[in-house]
Structure 1
């Protein structure tokens, strides 16, 4: 009965079914599992089709299977919560567009600190060198003749990073704010080496930028002329980063 079902011809059909099913699925982990199953069936086929095992075909199939296992392991590790660094686990959910592995890679390049004094980090019209992410604390932003306060959990300096243009606004962090910062050069080198990381980071920044644009010019925005002059003068004396 067993031999009647698992004939050499049926093994080929079964292996082909695994491959076709895998290639029809966009989920990379499931795809690789199906391809791995098909490779396993082919190994059985090459071991039984002839009087002696077809060693050349078996060796090649084993190499294909090992390469697939390596890629599968990498994918699982990239998406595993175990990849989240303990030092930054508290902010992981602030980056919903980043898989755990890409989040870990991004945090390895970051410097996390608390602002001890009011600090200006971007200057409108001037080229920036760093990308910032505000974890806690308010940010005062001035763009042209408009000024507004932004809540935390946002990127700053993202326009300069994405397109290499001068900063689109001036921004000040309040004393006590907690912030992550990355040097543009470090991020660009990482993006050049890893396209997947580049796409994930750009998706996270773009989502943040869309949210910020939607809220920054709302009812909380005021004209700079309406801000008391002492406050404006005080901002001018805040040290630049």
Structure 2
């Protein structure tokens, strides 16, 4: 230990930053610690010998640059800048999602106006489109029972999750504004992007919980599941 020099302390400190970084779950802190470790390694490569170790310096610079780009992408995905312009007015309805996840979900959707009486799902038929009512309401019918659901509600979410046919019919009760997702494309996207899948399923879970709460308060009978 008596023979340790300044360069040795640099490499120990750099290794320490990497070890601590790998023990941290938070992606931002992890990347910052790895960046500090990389800078310490570059410093070490510059002073360990009479001639700087340029190949190691350039290699570490490349990995550090990639880390910086990833860090900037993390900051961007968590900022309001990630929200698509056409959906900024509705983000407050989905503010339980980070802006980046919200942006992915909205880019896969289509915002449309549909007329009164437009059928969303049909009892016994496969659900081809997942809907979210932004403005308006829908009439839900199963057999002789019917009730209305208001805006800020998914329609067709159980069919999307399970692949089963709809157990009720849903039609718009007035001219409405909807978000629509093609179910086949949505499932394909969810298979490719686990984070996208988690974001969508989190929204659907909250929607289902709210529906159950409203049903218990207003309807003693079990409501139809779409």
Tell me the TM-score range normalised by the shorter chain: 0.7 to 0.9
Question: What's the TM-score once normalised by structure 1's chain length?
Answer: 0.81
Question: What's the TM-score once normalised by structure 2's chain length?
Answer: 0.86
Stretches of structure 1 lacking an aligned partner (at least 5 in a row):
1-5, 225-241
What is residue 168 of structure 1 aligned with on the other side?
A: 167
Contact between 1:148 and 1:220, CA under 8 Å: does it hold in 2? no
| Matches for 1:101-112 after TM superposition, within 5 Å | 101-112=100-111
1:81 paired with 2:80, answer yes
1:27 paired with 2:19, answer no
2:86 aligned counterpart, secondary structure: helix
Deviation at 1:43, TM superposition (A): 0.5
Cα 1:177–1:20 shift into 2, 3 Å: same
Deviation at 1:44, TM superposition (A): 0.3
Name which of structure 1's ranges 32-41 and 182-191 shifts more when overlaid on structure 2.
182-191
What is residue 205 of structure 2 aligned with on the other side?
A: 206
1:37 paired with 2:36, answer yes
Q: Deviations over 1:49-101 (max 9, x none)?
A: 11211223223212221221222122222112111122111111212343212
Contact between 1:98 and 1:201, CA under 8 Å: does it hold in 2? no
Contact between 2:141 and 2:170, CA under 8 Å: does it hold in 1? yes
| Matches for 1:157-236 after TM superposition, within 5 Å | 157-220=156-219
What is residue 48 of structure 1 aligned with on the other side?
A: 47
Cα 1:223–1:157 shift into 2, 3 Å: closer
Contact between 2:138 and 2:174, CA under 8 Å: does it hold in 1? no
What is residue 151 of structure 1 aligned with on the other side?
A: 150
Deviation at 1:32, TM superposition (A): 0.6
Q: Deviations over 1:165-209 (max 9, x none)?
A: 111322122222211111112212322322211221111112212
- Counterpart CA distance in 1 for 2:23 and 2:96 is 25
What is residue 229 of structure 1 aligned with on the other side?
A: none
What is residue 127 of structure 2 aligned with on the other side?
A: 128
Deviation at 1:217, TM superposition (A): 4.6
State the aligned residue count: 219
